[in-house]
Structure 1
Amino acid sequence: MTSTSPASQHWTAVCTIDDILPDTGVCARVEQRHVAIFRVGADRFFAIDNFDPKSQASVLSRGLVGNLGQRLVVASPLYKHHFDLSSGECLEAPEHSVRAYPVRAEREQLLVSLG
């Protein structure tokens, strides 16, 4: 991912913080992409593509959030592949990795940037 300054990024409001229960995810459409937004604990947020390349379905937002060692992951509900929430890397099959996106909270709103 190319790094850009936050001021030059386009941010899209996707939901309020309270719309996501801790340790779960939701799906939002951002600029024609299905993005899975996850809340870990009370105040950590992550966004990755919602599309699971192995199953060819938009399901990652419905996966189980947890950790493998020090890595925060979501397990796909279909094939149980684990995706790193920070990077989008698929731990079992790196060729199935997805994109990760920056998320920020602003006045109780969550915003996502596709870069």
Structure 2
Amino acid sequence: MTVILDRAEDLATTGTWHRVCPLDELEPAWGEAALIDGRQVALFRTAPGEVYAVVQQDPATFANVMARGIIGSRGSRPTIASPLHKEVYDLETGECFTNPELKLATFATRVVDGYIEVEL
């Protein structure tokens, strides 16, 4: 599933919530890519009602592949491993556990009336 939303008129606007897709369309433990306001975002559902959003671009290689990453955890922290070089990132903070010089941009998410929304 790839979702494309119309690009907003004012690209400088921040703090805007964007409706992406129904929660039921995002499979648990699986990533999907969405184009939101001209940005590629990777979405992950780790548990019922628990959704994370990160930038689609891998910080190590600059390839747009993070939606195909491997979901896991470090203790109680949900993680995503890059599908290319397997760097492991915290889904909440974007911190890279395997290389402190790398960081994955994260976005706030919420579920409203059964739909996933992402704040950009």
For the pair 1:42 / 2:48, whether they are aligned, the reply is yes
Matches within 5 A, 1:73-112: 73-112=79-118
Pairwise CA distance, 1:94 = 2.4
Cα RMSD (Å) of the superposition?
Answer: 1.4
1:12 aligns with 2:10: no
Q: CA deviation at 1:57?
A: 0.6
How many aligned residue pairs are there? Answer: 107
Aligned twin of 1:61: 67
Q: Structure 1 unaligned runs (5+)?
A: 1-7
Amino acid at match of 1:39: R
Runs of 4+ in structure 1 over 3 Å off:
none
* Aligned sequence identity (%): 35
Q: Which structure dedicates a bigger proportion of its chain to helix? A: 1
Structure 2 unaligned runs (5+)? 1-13
Provide TM-score, normalisation by structure 1. 0.86
Inter-partner Cα distance in structure 2 for 1:67 and 1:13: 27
